[in-house]
Structure 1
């Protein structure tokens, strides 16, 4: 996934009201930006952190946007880039599915985005000519609590996340394939586990649906050195 132009660097002053953040640019200018993340952003919103933002006014001004800039990345522990924009993992995985570069999911011939299910939508549905379907829900893993390479999901209690697990389980029981994909846009994470200490019910539900046949994959992300984008980069271990 490539941005239209390289991201703009700055320093985080503070995040507040969930969807807003104040950032100081390199020339000293302070701007309020949109924060596209509804989670706790645990360890990813420390004041003073290096951050990167995108400009919605490129290539021309966008009067429909109340806030010109969008917070995209943050540097954690002074060395790891992390994408906190929760829309990007879906875009990234969607591109990888279309290019058939996700191991184990590369043989499907068509892809539907945001397919309707009984109680809402999931992120993707892959299909084969014989009618076989593979339903996919994507979650972003950005929490590295200790510098040990072990990333945790979720970073806050998520009833919606458990609902998605139950929907995947139901689709599997109907005879389809069902896959939960952990997208890992964090340079410091090398394996993924469930955050039982944050949301015990999510952990219990995840193990239950896995035992009924729902598959779980974790996909690493490589960040471009020039801050122009990133790409899916292979499978990581999942420890539950």
Structure 2
């Protein structure tokens, strides 16, 4: 996935009101950009370090700039825009990078499913294989050399796990796919210390047959792509 037009850069000053961040540009101007991340962004905020942002030509947008990347004080890159995870996953599936998901004929996004009024991130279908329901999650929280999900209590994520369990009981295939958008993460674990209910539900999901995958993203201001699997510790 290439960034078109090219990303612009600045220095993070602060994130506030959840969806806003102030950035200092190289010429000294300070602008406010949109922060497309609903999580706590724990261990993802490094004031004084470089950020990169995209720019929309939509005249109706109050904040035309969108925060895409953050550089940490350890020189790691983090994908801030969680909305990119689904596009990265779709691209990787179509390019046969995610080997566990080979053999399907069609890919659809945002299909209604389940019993709790949900939409699945990706649905794969084939004439010879069971339907495959894939829930995509962006993993960016790095603690003690381990990546954790979630970074805050997530009732929405808990609902998605229940829906995946339901799909398995209906005879379908269900996959939880962690897209790792932090260059320092090579292992992913459920964040029991943050959301124990999510961790319990994930254990139940795995016991019921839900598959858990984690794939690492190569990040750069030019573009990002999923490059290979990460370890998952349940």
Q: TM-score range by the shorter chain?
A: over 0.9
Q: Distance in 1 between matches of 2:128 and 2:143?
A: 44
* Distance across 1 between alignment mates of 2:166 and 2:73: 40
After TM superposition, what 4+ stretches of structure 1 lie above 3 angstroms from structure 2?
A: none
Q: Which residue of 1 aligns with 2:225?
A: 231
Equivalence map 1:32-181=2 (5 Å): 32-57=32-57, 62-118=58-114, 119-130=117-128, 132-146=130-144, 148=145, 150-181=146-177
Matched, 1:214 2:210: yes
Give, in angstroms, the shift of residue 120 of structure 1: 1.6
Distance in 1 (CA, whole Å) between partners of 2:67 and 2:209 is 37
Gap regions ≥5 residues in structure 2: none
Is the CA contact (8 Å cut-off) linking 2:79 and 2:219 kept in structure 1?
Answer: no
State the Cα RMSD in Å: 1.1
Superposition deviation, residue 129 in structure 1: 1.3
Q: CA deviation at 1:131?
A: 6.2
For 1:131 and 1:210, locate their aligned partners in 2 and report how far apart those are by CA, in whole Å: 20
1:188 paired residue among 184, 198, 204: 184
Q: State the aligned residue count.
A: 232
Q: Which runs of 5+ in 1 are unaligned?
A: none
Q: Secondary structure at the match of 1:135?
A: strand
Q: SS in structure 2 opposite 1:144?
A: strand
Q: TM-score, normalised by structure 1?
A: 0.94
Secondary structure at 2:156 match in 1: helix
- TM-superposed CA distance for 1:8, in Å, is 1.2
Verify the 8 A CA contact 2:46 2:71 in the aligned structure 1.
Answer: no
Output the TM-score relative to the length of structure 2: 0.96
Question: How many Å separate the matches in 2 of 1:32 and 1:209?
Answer: 41
Measured in 2, the distance between the counterparts of 1:161 and 1:86 equals 14
Aligned residues of 2:46 and 2:73 also touching (Cα < 8 A): no
SS in 2 for 1:6: coil
Distance 1:120 1:144 in 2: 29
Is residue 100–residue 107 contact of structure 1 (8 Å, CA) maintained in 2? no
Give 1:169 deviation, angstroms: 0.4
